[in-house]
């Protein structure tokens, strides 16, 4: 999967995932870490893109860049 495909898929999944949680209950880093861990366990193909960075760092940057986390 390309990074562009993964990014679109992960951003959409985040919107669904975060809608089921109380965001005030988490720190930003804990939220994103829990989300990425869930992807690793339940949707590993979403993280099958190539990168030199950690997947957690890439996903955090995507979410931040899209204005989905503060």
Residue 21 lies in a domain: yes
Domain count, the chain: 1
Q: Across the chain, what does the average pLDDT equal?
A: 89
Structural domain contains residue 70: no
**What would the two tokens of residue 48 be?**
């099958």
Q: Is residue 24 part of a domain?
A: yes
Q: Is the dihedral of CA 43, 44, 48, 54 positive or negative?
A: positive
Would you state the structure tokens that stand for residue 1, as one six-digit string?
């999967």
Kindly report the pTM of this predicted structure: 0.87
Indicate whether 13 belongs to any domain. Answer: yes
* pLDDT, tens digit (0-9, with 9 covering 90-100), for 5-14: 999 999 999 9
Domain region containing 11 = 3-65
pLDDT tens digit string along 12-32? Answer: 999 998 877 665 555 678 889
Q: How far apart are CA 48 and CA 20, in angstroms?
A: 25
Q: Please calculate the CA angle 36-38-43 and round it to the nearest 5 degrees.
A: 95
Place of tokens 């669904």: 16
């Amino acid at each position: 999967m390309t990074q562009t495909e993964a990014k679109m898929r992960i951003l959409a999944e985040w919107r669904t995932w975060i809608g089921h949680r109380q965001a005030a209950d988490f720190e930003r880093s804990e939220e994103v870490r829990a989300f990425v861990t869930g992807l690793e366990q339940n949707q590993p193909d979403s993280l099958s893109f190539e990168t030199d960075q950690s997947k957690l760092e890439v996903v955090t940057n995507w979410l931040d860049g899209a204005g989905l986390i503060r």
